[in-house]
Structure 1
């Protein structure tokens, strides 16, 4: 998540410098060929304008869908924050008078669940963008915590050695941690440490966590539909290729009868670049938001949220040495 006031113009320029370079080349080639006498390369601008309208609609649709995925992901983690706090004080007040050790154990297991879930959500998928040159280069400005540490090292802080090995042997670690919470809760109920009402309350919280995990996994594992993504890419590419050809004749005759006659043709390069850059950057903005857990600067800050939950819940137990909050690096916090 970008925590600054805005992305600066320089940041946008650096982020799009590769596209600026090849868009300049694509604008220059037809202009130079036209100048050298290949005037047949000039296309009517009207069909290209119609194509631009179609591209604008489909890019706008993609960006709207991307934002919806991002906002849903933020709502999911917002629910996890609230439900974790409720889980913490309900569990503490229901169980601590009879078994404070189990309360501490279940709190630690909840931190482990948050950790396992964020590591699973940061795993790469073939359709994600973080491994492309444009995004990989910008990623050097900040840190992705899940790529700087290993899950087993993180979970050591929360689980016993036997439970750690058991969880690591499973495919979906977050799910199995929540199953362990349910088992621990059932044991407390069977031992008479909590009553029917308390068991129901705490169990409902576990169900909410499972529900939110499933919602997050749905976004992670189901990409923006490939048919929409593909047609956007192809139409945008065709539009970018044709724009310089459609503006050749218009800029060539712009200087007729003036001191700039014969020179205005070269305006085709910067203006074609400007038009195509706008469309291409709008599409890139959508791509930067469409996968809200991949580790991009526009992601939901699931590491920071997980740490905030851990701090709040440790504070409920009056622990003194609380972990430090996650802070932004170059205005990016994950």
Structure 2
């Protein structure tokens, strides 16, 4: 997530420079052929270019709207995780009561730390790279990684889970496929044991189990976004329409500027290049931005800041249970917050 007021041009232009190079090549070649070799047939009417531009603008707008909706839904889901985590901490603190206060504090800590483990396992699962994601496959995204780091790629899940789970639980969780799911299962088993021992009433047990159901629901929503890409058919036609438009733009501009040759001279034809580059860059960047908004958990600079959110939840719950030594809040690096 970018925390600045906007992307600076010295970041944005290099990120999109290949689109500029592409448009320079696509516009200079036909202009040179028209100017030097007299290939007059390269000039085409503006009407078909405008019609294709309308279609490309429509599908680009549709894609960007839908990909933004995916990103916003992901942020809403993590907002619900924040609220459910706070509610869960409050219920654990007030519903699980034992005469021995030392034992009570130990039980509270075990359950809350296991919740931290769930947050950790979930974010590691969401940062796993899928075949349709772009952050590692596109060169301009790989280059932009120099401005920030993805903690889930720098650290191992085993090291991250160690502070929150005992050895037996950690060994078991590391053997499972969906670790976040199995951590909540461990939580539920622990609560059942506490209920059977009379350390939690039936009503309170039910209320806490409902919290686990809510967390499962939020996890499932995250997994739906993570595991179901933006439909490939819409992504493909947006790419095809945009590239077709960029190919025809110089031909249409040549046709328009050729009408001005008698008044301004043959050199007016070269205005095709800057106008084609500018307009083509706009459409290509719209396509690139939509592409980089499709997957809000992939590790992109525009991702939902799930690492920072998880850390804030951890700080809130530690404070709720009276801990004084709190982990530091995660700060942006080059205005990028992961």
Matches within 5 A, 1:80-99: 80-98=81-99, 99=104
After TM superposition, the structure 1 stretch with the greater mean CA deviation from structure 2, 94-103 or 296-305, is 94-103
Determine the structure 2 residue equivalent to 1:17.
17
Determine the structure 1 residue equivalent to 2:133.
128
Q: CA deviation at 1:252?
A: 2.6
Asked if the contact 1:252–1:263 (Cα under 8 Å) also holds between the matched residues in 2, the reply is no
Q: CA deviation at 1:15?
A: 1.1
Q: CA deviation at 1:39?
A: 1.3
Q: Are 1:48 and 2:75 counterparts?
A: no
Asked if the contact 1:108–1:158 (Cα under 8 Å) also holds between the matched residues in 2, the reply is yes
Determine the structure 1 residue equivalent to 2:34.
34
Asked if the contact 1:96–1:103 (Cα under 8 Å) also holds between the matched residues in 2, the reply is no
Asked if the contact 2:249–2:276 (Cα under 8 Å) also holds between the matched residues in 1, the reply is yes
Q: Are 1:112 and 2:113 counterparts?
A: no
Under a length normalisation based on structure 1, what TM-score does the superposition of the two structures give? Answer: 0.97
Of the three residues 235, 239, 249, the one matched with 1:243 is 249
Determine the structure 2 residue equivalent to 1:304.
308
Q: Are 1:182 and 2:183 counterparts?
A: no
Q: CA deviation at 1:96?
A: 4.3
SS in 2 for 1:263: helix
Asked if the contact 1:15–1:138 (Cα under 8 Å) also holds between the matched residues in 2, the reply is yes
After TM superposition, the structure 1 stretch with the greater mean CA deviation from structure 2, 267-276 or 15-24, is 15-24
Unmatched tracts of structure 2, length 5 or more: none
Q: CA deviation at 1:255?
A: 4.4
Residues 24 and 203 of structure 1, relative CA distance in 2, 3 Å threshold: same
SS in 1 for 2:325: coil
Determine the structure 2 residue equivalent to 1:101.
106
User: What is the CA–CA distance in structure 2 between the aligned matches of 1:256 and 1:201, rounded to whole Å?
Assistant: 83
SS in 2 for 1:203: helix
SS in 1 for 2:86: helix
Could you list the structure 1 runs, at least 4 aligned residues long, displaced by more than 4 angstroms after superposition.
none
Residues 79 and 50 of structure 1, relative CA distance in 2, 3 Å threshold: same
Q: CA deviation at 1:188?
A: 0.7
User: What is the CA–CA distance in structure 1 between the aligned matches of 2:15 and 2:294, rounded to whole Å?
Assistant: 17
Asked if the contact 1:20–1:277 (Cα under 8 Å) also holds between the matched residues in 2, the reply is yes
RMSD (Å), alpha carbons: 1.0
Determine the structure 2 residue equivalent to 1:271.
275
Determine the structure 2 residue equivalent to 1:233.
239
Determine the structure 1 residue equivalent to 2:79.
78
Under a length normalisation based on structure 2, what TM-score does the superposition of the two structures give? Answer: 0.96
Determine the structure 1 residue equivalent to 2:60.
59
User: What is the CA–CA distance in structure 2 between the aligned matches of 1:35 and 1:96, rounded to whole Å?
Assistant: 86
Matches within 5 A, 1:151-170: 151-170=157-176
Q: Are 1:282 and 2:286 counterparts?
A: yes
Asked if the contact 2:46–2:252 (Cα under 8 Å) also holds between the matched residues in 1, the reply is yes
Of the three residues 140, 154, 158, the one matched with 1:148 is 154
Asked if the contact 1:167–1:173 (Cα under 8 Å) also holds between the matched residues in 2, the reply is yes
User: What is the CA–CA distance in structure 1 between the aligned matches of 2:321 and 2:83, rounded to whole Å?
Assistant: 17
User: What is the CA–CA distance in structure 2 between the aligned matches of 1:279 and 1:136, rounded to whole Å?
Assistant: 22
User: What is the CA–CA distance in structure 2 between the aligned matches of 1:107 and 1:201, rounded to whole Å?
Assistant: 16
Asked if the contact 1:121–1:217 (Cα under 8 Å) also holds between the matched residues in 2, the reply is yes
Unmatched tracts of structure 1, length 5 or more: none
| Deviation string, structure 1 residues 215-261 (Cα, Å, up to 9, x no partner) | 00000000000111111111111111111111112123324224xx1
Q: CA deviation at 1:32?
A: 0.7
Q: Number of matched residues?
A: 332
